[in-house]
Structure 1
Amino acid sequence: MQFRDKMDPSWLIGRGKAEEIARKAKDAGADLVIFDQELTPAQLYHLERIMPCKVIDRTQLILDIFAQRAKTREGRYQVELAQLEYLLPRLAGRGRDLSRLGGGIGTRGPGETKLETDRRHIHRRIRDLKRELERVRRHRKLHRDRRRKMEIVQVALVGYTNAGKSTLLNRLTGSDVLSEDRLFATLDPTSRFLRLPSGEQVLLTDTVGFIRRLPHHLVAAFRSTLEQVKEADLLLHVVDASHPEASEQMRAVEQVLQELGAADIPTLTVFNKMDRVAAEMPEEEGTLRISAFSDEDLERLKQAIDQALHREQVCGSAEFPVTRGEWIAALYRNAEVVRSEVSGVTVRIDFRLPLRRFRRLSKEVKEHIRVSSD
């Protein structure tokens, strides 16, 4: 680590410190130098010139890990898109081979460099990948619209990478999703139905793990995957209670949720891996402390999900024309009707319903609703 008043625009850490690292890397026989900071193209160019081995930054390391973990076609497309968009501005100076001349049909002739050929190929591949991912996004939207019409309640597991989200999904639903003690074991969202103690069935979705300073290339590439979070009625923010930096990880997740526009979704914070924590910690409102391997704790979690989904209630009254049977039926499906009466050509309904169900009502239905002040 180096403490500076400001980053060096050419070297990040200053030329003297860079040369010191280069000497240490050579003495140690290192084959890789990693900077826990995103390097600009200029910084990467200067560092590679003096280092005796390959140089990568934080973003490239995360992208490489994602590339190893991606299993589905969508996951591979998303990672490749992020890698290409990261690589594009860093092509210049990536070795002497880029200065070789090219030529032939479809090129600008013998004067075109390999660098320009690579750039054109990358731009073409980026367009193809975005087109494919747009198809996936539309497909996911159709699924979400179908779930909304079927009024399926959705609960999303969110949290820092390796907090135990996939393990919780498996334990709660009896599924066999890959869950390993490693970073980014899950890249593709997986959904399974979960029956709550009240008898209600909800769709529980496992999502990609977050990380501090999540590279913006990944946020953009994984847009269709992260949109799953925005559609949830309830978020389970899973925290690794045994991690020494649990508080910082929580703040990182909250920041990503803010960037996604999901910060206002009701959230239940679940401190997982309590079996690894020696000291007893009191539970605060809106939090739960569990171990994913405790059947008793899992039952408590199901109860907490049930309560969280029904905690916030909306009370009010609605007046509909008797001819709009579909609006009346929509309110009856979603709400607990307290009183109903017909007066001439108008139906008046007093009701209460969970806030999450109120949000799902169509705009036309909401226009005829008067919400009580209490």
Structure 2
Amino acid sequence: MTGPRLLISGNFHWNAGFSHTVAGYVRAAREAGCEVRISGPLSRMDGEVPRLLPVEPDIGWGTHLVVMFEARQFLTPEQIELAGTFPRSRRLVVDFDLHGADEQPELGVDGTAGRYTAESWRTLYGALSDLVLQPRISGAMPPGVEFFQCYGMPETVRHPSELGPERDYGVQYIGSNWWRWKPLTALVEAAATLDPVPRFRVCGRFWDGGAVSPGFEDATTSVPGWLAERGVEVCPPVPFGQVIPEMGRSLISPILVRPLVAGTSLLTPRMFETLASGSLPVLSADAEFLAAVYGDESEHLLLGADPAATLDRLVTDFERHARIVGRIQDRVRARYSYPQVLRNLLAFFG
């Protein structure tokens, strides 16, 4: 086909939301009038990614380059030099975690600089492109930085009423424990007060009190046996491409945000995947900024000061809340479909 050939450079892992996002770009490419592949020479990836996503070994295939940074700095000096073979006007940087923010939020070890300082990130970004894109939906953007939503509404959207109120689980969270232990356990305790107590499941890494992420022990800490003692099922990460159907097996799915996301109003892929799944999303106080995306009706999904009462209301008045979530789905899909997100990305190239 004719049209831009977009190469994506990134640090890919099969069970990371970032990889699922790029998969959305790949699927939407034809409708958006372009092609999308992962750049093999300019990326890091685990052994599963080449089986799941198209990896292009020849950088000459691409007409445009998008370098995406989530978490660590992965490029070697040789890769940075290789990226420079693309005309500067055809290179963009996407800064998912605000690494290059001028003012670092006071978020402890969940801040944006890490060992690679904010100044180092800005120097790197300046070497790669004149424009940096960030998915921050509030706050002033510094010079050379613009808002880009990055994530889209998956094409497979299940209406809550279509799935009905009878699910395998009453409450479920899919995702790793990264500063999410306290909000997750608070939700478990709230659910335990309901009658009957809903079946609760957690899928992801660092939830069982065993292994932690080296160097990030505080972020991935959990209490051994705590979840099991309260009847919570703890399962491994969900396989690639199955996150949304697995979410739909639960009546209620919380959106739990890490301090960085809460403090800077960052969008994440889970905010769209949860909504698309047909589960009823519930929002903690830290995620109330999502009203800017979900709309005013998201107030019905806030956990609020009495999470147990909110969970009970969603369970007992399922049909009303299913209609509310369905309307939110329609609005978000119109604005944030992946073909539209990809068109918006291409527009930055001029």
TM-score (norm 1): 0.30
Max radius of gyration: which structure? 1
The structure with higher relative contact order (CA 8 Å, sep 6+) is 2
Structure with the larger helix share: 1
